[in-house]
Amino acid sequence: MTIGIVGFAAIGGAATTEMANESVSFSNDSNVTVDVAWNDSISDPANASASVTFYNATEYDDDPSTATVVLSDSIAADEGNTTSTEYTEADGLEDGTDYRLIVEADDTEADDVTVTDGSIGGIFTFSDGSPGFGAGVAIAAIGAAAMLARRGS
């Protein structure tokens, strides 16, 4: 009985995390690319994946729970490597349309996610949600701004 409980506890420990939640603009000229960097110690690579969902952006902004799913996909893990998937008009995306893109994966399997939509500044990188990561980025940005301000005076 103890083995069964430990087994279920281990299964329950795997947590799907929202690794990207971003508005993207689709263009036939640039498409949308999702890169998932997988760590090299995935316990079950054959069953590890990231889910990618494109929602109607306007509907998502109004109420995420009722937003129309435009495209749903799964990206298979490639242990220790980065998997790159490009989404095009052939996938049902429409030129000049804005979407809300959500990427979810087990944060013990995927290290980070990068979304590129071809717009100016259209590269979004998301980490595995490690505690303190956002604070570190914020502190670095504040420090860089302070240095630039000092140089200007």
Please give the backbone phi and psi of residue 86, each rounded to the nearest 5 degrees, phi first.
-105, 135
- Domain assignment present for 152: no
- What amino acid is encoded at 65 in this protein? S
The mean pLDDT of 55-83, rounded to a whole number, is 97
Taking only the tens place, the pLDDT of each residue in 87-97 is: 999 999 999 99
Is residue 29 within 8 Å of 116, Cβ to Cβ? no
**Separation between Cα atoms, residue 56 and residue 53, nearest integer Å:** 10
Task: Give percent of the chain above pLDDT 70.
Answer: 68
Q: How many CB atoms lie within 10 A of CB 65?
A: 5
Q: Which domain holds residue 135?
A: 14-146
CATH of the domain at 28: 2.60.120
For the record, the structure tokens of 68 come out as: 């129309």
- Domain assignment present for 136: yes
